[in-house]
A and B are shown apart, each in its own frame.
Chain A
Amino acid sequence: MSDLELVRLAREGDESAFAEIMRRYSPRVFRFAGRYFRQRSQIEDAAQEVFLKAFTQLSSFKGSGSLEGWLTRITANTCLNLLRSSKRRLELTAADLNQEDSEWIADKVANVSNERHKAREQSLIAADLAGRVLETLSPDDQLVLTLIDGDEASVREVAEITGWSESKVKVQAFRARRRMRQAIEKLLGSKKEGQLALEGAVKR
Chain B
Amino acid sequence: MKDMHIIDLVDSKKHTRLSDSERSTISSHIERCVDCRKAYEAANIAAALLEEHASRIVEPSPFFQTRVLSGLREQQSVNSWGFGRLWRAAGPLASSMVATVIALVVLTFAVPDNPTVDSYSLSAYSAEEVILDQDAAMDFPASDGQVLTTLYDDELETTR
Which A residues from 27 to 66 make CB contacts under 8 A with B? 27, 30-31, 33-35, 40, 43-44, 47-48, 51-52, 55-56
- Stretch in A77-85, A124-132, A158-166 touching the partner: A124-132
**Given contacts A34-B58, A48-B67, A126 and B52 within 8 Å (CB-CB):** yes
**Given contacts A174-B12, A178-B11, A129 and B49 within 8 Å (CB-CB):** yes
Q: How far is the CA of A127 from the CA of B55 in the complex (A)?
A: 8
- Stretch in B35-43, B89-97, B137-145, B150-158 touching the partner: B35-43
B38 closest partner in A (C-beta): A185
Q: How far is the CA of A183 from the CA of B85 in the complex (A)?
A: 52
A103 within 8 A of B: no
B117 within 8 A of A: no
CB within 8 A of A126: which of B11, B42, B53, B71? B53
**Given contacts A23-B65, A108-B44, A151 and B54 within 8 Å (CB-CB):** yes
User: How many residues belonging to B are interface residues under a CB distance threshold of 8 Å?
Assistant: 35
Q: How far is the CA of A181 from the CA of B68 in the complex (A)?
A: 38
Q: How far is the CA of A22 from the CA of B49 in the complex (A)?
A: 30
**Given contacts A145-B50, A150-B53, A188 and B65 within 8 Å (CB-CB):** no
Interface range, A side? 35 or more
Per-position 1/0 for A97-136, Cβ under 8 A of B:
0000000010011000000010000011011011101100
Q: Is the CB of B52 within 8 A of A127?
A: yes
Q: How far is the CA of A87 from the CA of B57 in the complex (A)?
A: 25
Tell me the minimal C-beta distance from B143 to chain A in angstroms.
95
Q: Which residues of B contact A (CB under 8 A)?
A: 10-12, 14, 38-39, 41-61, 64-65, 67-69, 71-72, 75
